[in-house]
Structure 1
Amino acid sequence: MIRSMTGFASAKGELGAYSWSWELRSVNGKGLDLRLRVPDWLEGLEAALRGTLGKAIARGNVTLSLRLARSEEGGALTLNHSAMAVALDAVAEVEEAARTRGVTLAPSRAADLLALRGMMEAGAGTDDGAALVAKLKSEFDPLVRAFLDMRETEGAALAEILEGQIGQIEALSTQAATLAEARKEQMAETLRSNLARVLDNADGADPERVAQELALIAVKSDVTEEIDRLAAHVKAARDLLQKGSPVGRKLDFLMQEFNREANTLCSKSQNAELTAVGLELKTVIDQMREQVQNVE
């Protein structure tokens, strides 16, 4: 199944004195970029969430936000005395090293120390924190599933659009093949006429050499290979859609190949109708490429 890189999911929960809200969203991206905003005092939570997202999502700029609140009934923050002792020892060591080198430091403030990670404990103890992390982890899987469901729903609509555009490219390629076949006799007649005109107006011209040059021109204007490759690309694009995500990068590369064949077709056409078909091909390919940018 094709998945879009655009998605959104949210959820709320609570445990004891804590309440929280989740927001998970994503937009287009060349690769996978995970940005998590999670309270850092919840030990092990961010690593677990990042691992789950990394397994579920292959591509996109993904942002996860967890807003956590604690009610007044839950009690106030408490000072982590062990962390305080470590911080004070470190401050004393730095200040002593500065004095020996004649460096004057700004006075340390209690507020600066209290702002350090781990200095204040949010909760009655380790058990509360562990239970909270376990609860948050258990709620995360349903959030990710809802997020993926939205990406798959949008992906289904996107696949339908892409199928239609592939059909347009196929129809235009068939039309180009018909026009290329029809112009063969016209081109042959033009080459014979040009050969006769050159021979009539050139003294001592080598007829074989002139014929070789005109044949080379005919080869250079032959678009059979371009039309054949367009047909092969159409099949490859359909196979990728059937395979399902993650195929966005492969489809993006295929769009470059489509565009290359359409450009060559226009440059070699030497026919107004065939050129018009080539230009229409380029338009559809460009539209399809814009859609492909959102495929995971």
Structure 2
Amino acid sequence: MVRSMTGFGRGEAEGEAGKITVEVKAVNHRFSEVVFRMPRQFSALEDPARKLILSRVTRGRLEVYVVWEPSAEARAAKVDKDLALAYYNALRQLAEEIGSNPEISLDTLARLPEVISVTEGDVTDEQIWAMLEPALDQAMTQLVAMREKEGAALAVDLAERLDRIDSFRTAAAARAPEVVEEYRQRLIRRLEELLPPTNPVDPQRLAQEVALFADRADITEEVQRLGSHIAQFRQALQTDEAVGRKLDFLVQEMGREINTIGSKANDALLAAAVVAAKSELEKIREQVQNLE
């Protein structure tokens, strides 16, 4: 079944280095694009993470958000001694200037900005990947499931609209001979009005003129090609492959055939039907843009 390009997935995993939460958001895009928002320690793992993602999807812009909660073993406290000493000297100088003699404790210094910072300790890429891979895989599983669900709903809507296009094709094929006959009748009436009774309509000349009109208004090829495009579209909706680009191409081709039918037919009824068919086709075009 076809899949949409929008979706969302979330995954979590824990390991020696702590806990990782991954969220993946996918939106429409002409090609495939993966954008990461994750800690700098994960930079070396961006390539395998991208490969994992692209093994599950083929189109769309995917934004990947990774949050890491390091374990106690993966944390390290760092003291900025120079900054602490600078704070200490500045406080003593201030105390002398205002005539105060406060006690400057370690607790006071430790609370000052950036004196003590908590950093991630020595964590290997293997430890990080052991958490990132399952979390990312879980997120992608949820995202693909959402894409498939939305794709199934889109396929139903597209199939219904495609039926209306097919009904137009059938009606156009049935109407074409009637258009030629109506032209013949109009031509006879017009000639009878213009020609005197002593000079009746030449049957052979009339047949030639009608034949020329029928040739110009012949939509047989367009109707057949439109039917072929509709059949290919329906077949593509039943596959599990990424068919968004193919369907977009077929929509363009169907639009070309419908326009040609409208321009060739030279008939008010068919012209109205062409307008309705083009309206349905435009809605199909909009929906196809959402498919992977």
Shorter-chain TM-score bucket reads 0.7 to 0.9
User: What's 1:60 paired with?
Assistant: 60
| 1:229-240 → structure 2 map (5 Å cutoff) | 229-240=225-236
In structure 2, how many angstroms separate the alpha carbons of the residues matched to 1:156 and 1:136?
30
The structural deviation recorded for 1:19 is 3.2
The structural deviation recorded for 1:294 is 0.6
CA deviation profile, 1:63-122 (whole Å, cap 9, x unmatched): 11102233677533669xxxxxxxxxxxxxxxxxxxxxxxxxxxxxxxxxxxxxxxx995
| 1:175-190 → structure 2 map (5 Å cutoff) | 175-190=171-186
Return the letter of the residue paired with 2:246: K
User: What's 1:21 paired with?
Assistant: 21
CA deviation profile, 1:182-212 (whole Å, cap 9, x unmatched): 2232223334556778887xxxxxx999976
Return the letter of the residue paired with 1:124: G
Q: Is the 8 A contact 1:195 1:211 kept in 2?
A: no
The structural deviation recorded for 1:56 is 1.3
From 247, 250, 265, the counterpart of 1:251: 247
In structure 2, how many angstroms separate the alpha carbons of the residues matched to 1:250 and 1:241?
10
Aligned residue pairs, count: 249
SS at match of 2:224: helix
The structural deviation recorded for 1:157 is 0.7
CA deviation profile, 1:23-64 (whole Å, cap 9, x unmatched): 101111111111112223235321111011122111111111
User: What's 1:216 paired with?
Assistant: 212
User: What's 2:10 paired with?
Assistant: 10
In structure 2, how many angstroms separate the alpha carbons of the residues matched to 1:131 and 1:17?
6
Gaps of 5+ in 2: 80-116, 197-202
Q: Is the 8 A contact 1:2 1:159 kept in 2?
A: yes
Q: Is the 8 A contact 2:13 2:131 kept in 1?
A: no
TM-score, length-scaled by structure 1: 0.74
**Pair 1:286-2:266 in alignment:** no
Return the letter of the residue paired with 1:133: W
Q: Is the 8 A contact 1:195 1:214 kept in 2?
A: no
Q: Is the 8 A contact 1:263 1:278 kept in 2?
A: yes
| 1:193-204 → structure 2 map (5 Å cutoff) | none
Return the letter of the residue paired with 1:28: N
**Structure of higher CA gyration radius:** 2
Gaps of 5+ in 1: 80-119, 201-206
Q: Is the 8 A contact 2:28 2:61 kept in 1?
A: yes
Q: Is the 8 A contact 2:38 2:66 kept in 1?
A: yes
From 117, 141, 144, the counterpart of 2:140: 144
User: What's 2:108 paired with?
Assistant: none
Q: Which moved more, 1:47-56 or 1:210-219?
A: 210-219
| Identical-residue share of aligned pairs (%) | 36
In structure 1, how many angstroms separate the alpha carbons of the residues matched to 2:193 and 2:215?
20
User: What's 1:36 paired with?
Assistant: 36
From 122, 125, 128, the counterpart of 2:122: 125
TM-score, length-scaled by structure 2: 0.75
Q: Is the 8 A contact 2:30 2:60 kept in 1?
A: yes
Q: Is the 8 A contact 2:11 2:137 kept in 1?
A: no
Change (3 A) 1:123 1:199: same
Return the letter of the residue paired with 1:125: D
Change (3 A) 1:179 1:137: same
In structure 2, how many angstroms separate the alpha carbons of the residues matched to 1:176 and 1:31?
37
In structure 2, how many angstroms separate the alpha carbons of the residues matched to 1:219 and 1:54?
52
